[in-house]
A and B are shown apart, each in its own frame.
Chain A
Amino acid sequence: MIGGHGAAATLAGRGAPRVVLICLHADPAMPAGVGEGGGTHSYLRELMRFLGRSEIDHILLTRWADPELPQVQRTSSHGWLHRLRIGPPGPLDKRLLAGLHATTVAAVTEVFDEFGPPDLLHSVYWNSGQAAMDVAAERGLAFVHTVISNGWRREASGQDDQPPERIAIERRVFHAAHRIFSICSQERNDLVHAYGVPAERIVVVGRPVGSAFENPARDMLGRPRSHLPDICVP
């Protein structure tokens, strides 16, 4: 990774990125399995890896939640990670993000003003979807959205810690998005039945797994794995 701790890389001189990912909820630098690091963080890493390998220019916009990390980092020859100032840099209760919507839209727009608009917006998680929806409408851009947990299912499973406006906002986002990425069929069914999203606009994409799981060190008989996958180009 270029632009490590304290090295303020810059986007100056770059052309317009093709894809802007927005996820205020998760910084892909955070590992899964500790604190709030979980599946969304891994998902963003997987997307950035894919875009980098596909030579698609992209910027991931997230909230600057850890002031020890630089505001801008280069992740590949085609990718950048830009941490936005939405509230003071540092941890923030995510339920407060809805109240910072206007700040978020302004911060995203500022990036566009500086570097030009992308071809596509891709938001992840509901409050980022709201930002993407509004920016896309203002700039005439297409946006796609990844759900990763929905308020209706959370509520149905007894979790009452989410902002009351979440489900209404989600409904608007889901209907405005060009396409919805859903990671499993349960979520797709929720969107169709609880949010009224047309099924044909939802793509179930699942999740990839790392090569360590597809090709573990040995099989259950103790035989070492073949190392061929290491040198095979996907």
Chain B
Amino acid sequence: MSGLSPDSLEDHAPWWNEGPYLYVGRIARSKGVFHILSAWLSLVARLGTRCPDLWIAGGAPSEIAEERARHSQRRLLERLEAQGRLRWWGYLDEGGLSALLLKARVLIMHSTYEPGGRVVLEAMTQGVPVIATPNGFALDLVRDWLTGFLVSAGDTSLLRRRMEHFALQPLLGPSMGIAARATALDALRSWDFYRAHGRVYAQAAQQAEPCSLGAPPALPEVIVDRLPGGLAGRYPFAPVIPDDAAARLAAERLLGLKPGSGRIAALPCEGGALRWSVDAADRCLMLTHLYSTYEPRAIWDCRYSGPLFRSGRDRRRREAHGSRFRGFAAVAEDETGEFQLRDVPPGKVAAGNPLERLQQALIAFPPLWAEPPCSDDRASLTAAAAGWWERREMSPWRSEGAVAAALRRTTLRVAWPETEEKLLRGDLKVGARNKAAVIALRDRAGRIASREATLTRISLQHGEPSFSSIGSGPGGSCLLGGEWAGAAWWGRDAALLLLRVAADLPGEGTVLVRDPLARLCPEPQRRVVVLLWAIVERLFELAEAGQRDGFREEIDPFLETLAAALTSASP
């Protein structure tokens, strides 16, 4: 659009899109408006003015009055209505509903039963994600963390939690909306409603055999675009996303190849990056484009007050900077600064390594790494795991969001003495948050720690809690993702140990990890995730204490106990 630069669009889009929750439909008991109101009121109590408004479209005045009268918190409702935070729009036609959807953050549908639920389709078509009960179109088209969320009818607690995600991270709505719209448009094309009716009419009028039409149209699968929606998804307002042709051009420039001589293939997007494998001159390399993303931590962390999105430009700058540290794979940048190339085969640890299997299992369920505890199953799992952690006085498990907190804390980290020294001398440039970590260390200790004590406790953090952050470069195992290099706590950081397991202890690692995993693979993946982190944590502790030989004796009973607890806690 003339007069609007891409940068200005990025800057202004967030406030423009901070909209309300929206319900569209009849005002009837089976539609669950009562539950939506209850969840919203609970969220208002929790978040105060940070909670988005609620708009309810549909119904005649008498129906709306009846619904309002059902609520025990009538006075609170009236106060919120007077403040304009709760609006009853009544019946609106198509144009009116479309206008409301333009301002909505997410559509909420909470029907006990819905044969189709066309409003779900309408909202998704317009690029609005949906929180819905698993019925009709929602069951077909809504996928958690991709196009919205499914919530069982009557589960007000989970509904509130899902609504909260959109309150804490306003960019979640438009980001999921990209996938929602693509999914809905694909569904509409696949169904071809009118043509399908016409074909059946023509055939039935002639009383032809039904089978002559061929197989019924297949319902479309939810689109899994290369750019992920939902958690850790793309910043929704990024104006330009490079395509394969641009990636090829960049690879050719960086490697000095003749046009068309190398082989380049797009890989699944991961870690907020578009990735391509590049095969050229007997080398297999990885080309990446880090794109603008929103900050996923904001989704579940009420106290988070940092930026809501990270620009791709800044991320690439950090990546280039962090990758200069020892232990990280070096990157080369193309002249535009859009692409970065590593001399590392993409995505996998060395074949046959015990971590490979774990890596593959985890890649299949990426959102679980960072998804906050929501379901009853997760609550049971948290409770089961909490005992083990609490015995080790790891109190964060006791608080809400404990799984997420523990996963964040258990990030892959690696320490280098010289970097630590730089940090303490102020030579290493770190962000404000990391500086705060240093200050917090001193405050928590009740005094300013001695230089020696601090040296042993501050490390360089890698950041991404993923086994795919480990690669096999020409010099052996290395870390990928220098973007997240920064100051962090030393003591429970696992990257160094993982590197040891991956590179130096294949036999022991195989025995330790494969046996319990083989038993647990058929179980829900989230259990495996928790187990893995527990194993990693314990491995690290024992290795640090020089007790590696005693690991099996200690960890096996623990695994048995935990596996039994998790299995019995399954729904």
Contacts and interface: CB of A to CB of B under 8 A. Distances in A.
Interface string B28-46: 0010000000000000000
A149 B30 CA distance: 13
Interface stretch (A46-54, A59-67, A78-86, A102-110): A46-54
Interface in B168-214: 174, 177, 184-185, 187-188, 190-194, 196-198, 200-201, 203-205, 207, 210-211, 213
A98 interface: no
B116 interface: yes
Nearest to B239: A221
Interface in A14-28: 18-19
Interface string B83-116: 0000000011111011101100000000011011
Interface stretch (B134-142, B433-441, B451-459, B490-498): B134-142
A53 to B, nearest CB: 9
A178 B136 contact: no
A39 B109 CA distance: 14
**Max chain B C-beta neighbours (<10 A), residue from A147, A181, A216:** A216
A12 to B, nearest CB: 24
**Max chain B C-beta neighbours (<10 A), residue from A32, A185, A187, A221:** A221
**Max chain B C-beta neighbours (<10 A), residue from A150, A186, A187, A217:** A186
A38 B113 CA distance: 13
Contacts of B204: 120, 142-144, 178-179
A200 B30 contact: no
B453 to A, nearest CB: 50
Contacts of A186: 135-136, 139-140
Contacts of A147: 115
Contacts of B117: 39
B17 interface: yes
A54 B97 contact: no
A203 B213 CA distance: 10
A33 B58 contact: yes
Interface in A182-232: 183-188, 199-210, 212-214, 216-223
B154 to A, nearest CB: 10
Contacts of B500: none
B127 interface: yes
Secondary structure of the A contact surface, majority rule: loop
Contact of B205 (A18, A36, A150): A18
Nearest to B136: A184
B348 interface: no
Given A31-B91, A33-B92, A207-B193, 16 more contacts: A31-B93, A35-B26, A157-B113, A178-B204, A178-B207, A181-B196, A184-B136, A203-B216, A206-B187, A213-B97, A220-B16, A220-B17, A220-B236, A220-B237, A221-B1, A223-B4
Interface of A: 18-19, 31-39, 42, 46-47, 50, 54, 56, 119-120, 122, 142-144, 147-150, 153-154, 157-159, 178-179, 181, 183-188, 199-210, 212-214, 216-223
25 contacts: A33-B24, A33-B59, A39-B115, A54-B198, A120-B201, A142-B205, A142-B207, A147-B115, A153-B113, A157-B135, A158-B112, A179-B200, A179-B204, A181-B197, A184-B139, A204-B217, A204-B218, A205-B191, A207-B193, A208-B188, A208-B193, A212-B94, A214-B125, A218-B102, A220-B236
